[in-house]
């Protein structure tokens, strides 16, 4: 009874405080693609006072925030951050998945009903149609149509999913032209301010300079050696070491590699500041929303890994970009703005590095394993029943199953048992298991939260800690890293809040990524998006 009364009192105080607050003029959502929680502290001593440390030391630092589903990829991450639910509801089960009707793997935001605005490439044939749930940004537009929603990123999915279905402008980078583009889903012609920005030819100009460390190389003590056998070789280099010179490459290669360099973070920050001015964000009493997703840390992270000097330098430079953005917000909006910063997932150490240090980890070489599984299908069921293996999802030919009068549950169970016998596999689940109503709990529940019947495979499997899937073994395959697992190294991410009326505090209460939307709901003074299922971060209302 005392506990219930105490909780009721806290909720009443929180509600009373929320009613006295007014909504900020501008909310800025920042997603740093592939940011590990530990980066906040590994690099903290070298961060400026006005970037990451401003949020960490002057705002609310939710230190125990995790993803509550698997797979931990960019598309599902951005969708979950902005819908407040998991792939089991919003339907974005990966960056891509096998489409049974089309008989091919599809991008999570591809939509051939639309065309590119801003270039002649096909990179703008995109829309949010695959997102089954509305976003907090949609809810803002529904409630306050005068409020503007602008979303931007280098990656298409990272711009489109946060902007939702009612965005006033969603923009992403076209690696074929070096332009920021959009889709005619949003507008019939490109906004004049975006055309002016594209005319500056910033990617081309940026790639005429080399990427060297911001500070003397010997001061990068939070990383491993610069010359590391665990890093991908890029730009024709024989060793993965600074400096990186790009002006000797073909132009098309420069425009693509631009996304891997810290110059791209500067490019995106400049674009965000241009959007602030051109769209008059935060200039009236109706709340606007600016969603920014920094993709470059992920692109570089895949190549170099979390112990690289390149990633340390990337974050020291990104910190300065954040400082510049926050200073601009103070100048142009005043003090009446709120920012939250999180990540769409984190990352595992390079498995070869783990192996070389006698730590658990390794590789799942899928080509040979899938060939063995196909042979098993032929022997036991008379035909190869497998259509595709995407993102640890095995898709069966259900029409062939029916034609051969095979029991689908029996086939799925046999595949699951085959996978569970492998040293690299932690667990395998059939569709019947994942569609059951009983509570699974733990990592099993995370798999179910990431499962959608119409888009996921018939069998879903997870690998053991420290393992990555690669198509086949080679020296190149053992360089670089990735993400997607249910383990802490992929699921534990930063969540920082700062701005008007946000208290200064460190919060150890466990929260999930789906708790961001219910918290934003109160900041924005809007109803809950229909699929949101998280809980409000009460400490924000302290």
Phi, psi for 298 (deg, rounded to 5): -75, -45
pLDDT for 32 beyond 90:
yes
Q: What integer pLDDT is reported at residue 438 of this predicted model? A: 77
pLDDT tens for each residue of 353-401: 999 999 999 999 999 999 999 999 999 999 999 999 999 999 999 999 9
* Tens digit of each residue's pLDDT (9 = 90 or more) over 109-129: 999 999 999 999 999 999 999
467-470 vs 362-365, strand pairing mode: parallel
Rounded distance between C-alpha atoms, residue 385 and residue 374, angstroms: 7
Per residue in 304-313, pLDDT (tens digit) is: 999 999 999 9
Closest Cα to residue 290, out of 341, 334, 324?
Answer: 341
Residue 21 is predicted with a pLDDT of 67
Q: Answer for the pair 521, 532: CB distance below 8 angstroms, yes or no.
A: yes
φ, ψ at 495 (rounded to 5°): -145, 105
Domains annotated on the chain, with CATH: 26-350+486-541 (3.40.720.10), 362-478 (3.30.1360.150)
Among 245-259, 361-375, 430-444, top mean pLDDT goes to: 361-375
pLDDT recorded at residue 15: 46
Three-state DSSP class for 3? helix
Q: What are the tens digits of pLDDT across the range 444-480?
A: 999 999 999 999 999 999 999 999 999 999 999 999 9
Beta bridge partners of 462: 427
Tally of CB atoms within 10 A around 205:
12
Residue 65 appears among annotated catalytic residues: no
Average predicted confidence (pLDDT) for the chain: 95
Contacts of residue 4, Cβ cutoff 8 Å, sequence gap at least 6: none
pLDDT surpassing 60 at residue 52: yes
Do residues 165 and 111 lie in contact, with contact meaning Cβ atoms separated by under 8 Å? Answer: no
pLDDT at 439 over 90: no
H or E stretch at 387: strand 386-390
Tokens of 335: 């003090």
Q: Which residue has the tokens 């042979």?
A: 375
Q: Looking at 435-499, which runs of residues are DSSP E strands?
A: 459-463, 467-470, 492-493, 495-499
SS3 annotation, 324-347? HHHHHHHHHHCCCEEEEEECCCCC
For the stretch 291-330, pLDDT in tens is 999 999 999 999 999 999 999 999 999 999 999 999 999 9
Q: What is the predicted pLDDT for the residue at 20?
A: 54
Nearest one of 254, 259, 264 to 207, comparing CA atoms:
254
Could you say which of 60, 74, 430, 519 is catalytic?
Answer: 74
pLDDT of the residue at 236? 82
Q: Could you tell me how many residues make up the chain?
A: 542
Per-residue H/E/C for 415-430: HHHHHHCCCCEEEEEE
Residue 271 clears pLDDT 50, i.e. is over it: yes
How many other CB atoms are there within 10 angstroms of residue 204's CB atom?
A: 13
d(CA 225, CA 218): 10
| Token pair in block for residue 84 | 């407040």
Closest CA to 450 of 418, 426, 484, 427: 484
Token pair, residue 383, equals 């035909």
At residue 396, the 3 state secondary structure works out as strand
Largest CA distance in the chain: 72
Q: Which of 510-513's residues contact partners 24+ apart within 8 Å by CB, and which partners?
A: 510/64, 510/66, 511/62, 511/64, 511/65, 511/66, 511/535, 511/537, 512/65, 512/66, 512/67, 512/68, 513/65, 513/66, 513/67, 513/68, 513/77, 513/80, 513/81, 513/342
Provide the 3-class DSSP secondary structure of residue 128: coil
Per-residue pLDDT, averaged over 230-245, amounts to 93
pLDDT at residue 334 is higher than 80: yes
Question: 4-41 burial by CB neighbour count: b if 16+ within 10 A, else e?
Answer: eeeeeeeeeebeeeeeeeebbbbbbbbbbbbbbbebbe
Query: Which pLDDT score, from 0 to 100, does residue 541 have?
Result: 87
Q: Binning pLDDT at 50, 70 and 90, where does residue 9 land? A: very low
Nearest one of 112, 108, 235, 125 to 172, comparing CA atoms: 125
Question: For residues 499 and 130, what is the distance between their CA atoms, to the nearest angstrom?
Answer: 33
pLDDT at 154 over 90: yes
Name 399's Cβ contacts closer than 8 Å, sequence gap at least 6: none
Identify the H or E element spanning 150: strand 149-153
Q: What are the angstrom distances between the C-alpha of 216 and each of 206, 227, 238, 310? A: 21, 15, 22, 13
**pLDDT score at 247:** 85
Peptide bond into 2 cis (omega under 30): no
């Amino acid at each position: 009874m005392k506990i219930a009364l105490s909780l009721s009192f806290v909720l009443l105080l929180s509600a009373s405080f929320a009613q006295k607050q007014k909504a900020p003029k501008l909310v800025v959502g920042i997603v740093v693609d592939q940011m590990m929680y530990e980066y906040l502290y590994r690099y903290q001593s070298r961060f400026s006072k006005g970037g990451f440390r401003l949020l960490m030391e002057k705002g609310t630092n939710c230190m125990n925030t995790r993803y509550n589903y698997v797979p931990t990829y960019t598309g599902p991450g951005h969708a979950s951050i902005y819908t407040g639910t998991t792939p089991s509801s919003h339907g974005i089960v990966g960056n891509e998945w096998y489409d049974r009707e089309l008989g091919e793997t599809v991008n999570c935001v591809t939509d051939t009903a639309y065309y590119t605005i801003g270039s002649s490439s096909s990179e703008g044939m995109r829309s949010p149609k695959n997102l089954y749930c509305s976003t907090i940004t949609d809810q803002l537009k529904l409630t306050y149509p005068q409020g503007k929603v602008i979303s931007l990123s280098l990656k298409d999915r990272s711009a489109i999913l946060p902007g939702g279905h009612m965005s006033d402008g969603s923009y992403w980078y076209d690696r074929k032209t070096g332009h920021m583009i959009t889709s005619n889903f949003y507008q019939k012609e490109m906004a004049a301010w975006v055309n002016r920005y594209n005319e500056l030819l910033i990617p081309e100009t940026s790639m005429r300079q080399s990427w060297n460390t911001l500070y003397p190389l010997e001061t990068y003590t939070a990383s491993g050696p610069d010359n590391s056998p665990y890093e991908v070789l890029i730009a024709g280099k024989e060793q993965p070491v600074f400096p990186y010179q790009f002006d000797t490459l073909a132009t098309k290669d420069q425009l693509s590699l631009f996304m891997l360099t810290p110059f791209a973070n500067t490019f995106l920050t400049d674009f965000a500041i241009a959007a602030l001015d051109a769209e008059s964000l935060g200039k009236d009493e109706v709340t606007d929303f600016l969603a920014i997703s920094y993709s470059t840390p992920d692109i570089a992270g895949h190549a170099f890994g979390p112990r690289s000097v390149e990633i340390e330098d990337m974050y020291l430079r990104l910190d300065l970009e954040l400082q510049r953005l926050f200073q601009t917000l103070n100048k142009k909006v005043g003090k009446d703005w709120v920012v939250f910063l999180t990540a769409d997932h984190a990352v595992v150490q390079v498995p070869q590095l783990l192996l070389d240090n006698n730590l658990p980890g390794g590789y799942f070489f899928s080509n040979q394993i899938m060939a063995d599984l196909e042979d098993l299908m032929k022997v036991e069921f008379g035909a190869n029943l497998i259509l595709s293996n995407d993102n640890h999802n095995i898709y069966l030919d259900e029409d062939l199953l029916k034609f051969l009068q095979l029991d689908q549950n029996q086939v799925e169970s046999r595949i699951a048992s085959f996978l569970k016998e492998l040293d690299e596999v932690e667990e395998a689940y059939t569709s019947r298991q994942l569609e059951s109503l009983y509570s699974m709990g733990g990592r099993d529940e995370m798999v179910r939260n990431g499962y959608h019947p119409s888009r996921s495979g018939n069998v879903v499997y997870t690998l053991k800690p420290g393992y990555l899937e690669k198509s086949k073994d080679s020296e190149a395959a053992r360089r670089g890293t990735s993400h997607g697992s249910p383990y802490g190294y992929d699921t534990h991410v930063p969540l920082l809040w700062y701005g008007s009326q946000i208290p200064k505090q460190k919060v150890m209460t466990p929260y999930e990524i789906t708790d961001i939307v219910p918290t934003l709901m109160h900041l924005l003074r809007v109803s809950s998006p229909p699929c949101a299922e998280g809980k409000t971060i009460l400490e924000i209302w302290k």
